[in-house]
Amino acid sequence: MNLKIKKRELFRPLAPVVIEESFSRFFDGMPSRLTSLMLQAVPVTQKYRDQLEEITHIDGTARVQSLHLNDNPLLHNLLMEHGNITGIPILLNTSLNGNGMPITERPEDTYDLFLNTDIDIAVINGTIFEKPNNSVNSDSVKLRHFVL
């Protein structure tokens, strides 16, 4: 992601988001208000450092976001389902922007970023946009709709 989308140095780790119920399995300590706001770097447990290398800083910590069900039920359910499939209820949590670009704020900005980077799939307002072979041709984008 750093090379293809963010276009930044490899040593800059990405941040994880994890459901509160699983926090202590992957990170030392307990979830707190600080971790819910991504204001604290916490050690990644030794057992999972290799599996979570993309989100682990060189000192073994991560700037994790802990997520309570009531804070964002949709994201919480997505993390739960991802955990059911992979065994790890953690996803990358990074700002949605390209190098030197502002964070996307509108669906149009997100779609432009999707077209002009190596992002394979974007989900915007209940529509899945899929780009075959990283094509920058908007005519080749496949659309699928779903209900949240």
Query: Residue 44 carries which DSSP code?
Result: B
Q: Where does the pLDDT of residue 18 fall: very low under 50, low under 70, confident under 90, or very high at 90 and above?
A: very high
Does pLDDT of 58 surpass 90? no
Q: Where does the pLDDT of residue 30 fall: very low under 50, low under 70, confident under 90, or very high at 90 and above?
A: very high
Domains of the chain: 2-93 (3.90.870.20), 107-145 (no CATH)
- Segment 91-98 shows an average pLDDT of 82
- How far is residue 11 from each of residues 1, 94, 105, measured CA to CA in Å? 12, 15, 27
Instruction: Report the alpha-carbon distance of residue 134 to residue 148 in Å, rounded.
Output: 26
How many CB atoms are closer than 10 A to CB 4?
11
Lowest mean pLDDT among 5-19, 93-107, 111-125: 5-19
Q: Could you tell me the pTM of the whole model?
A: 0.74
Can you read off the two tokens belonging to residue 8?
Answer: 């930044």
- Segment 22-48 shows an average pLDDT of 94
Lowest mean pLDDT among 3-7, 25-29, 39-43: 3-7
CB 26 within 8 A of CB 44: yes
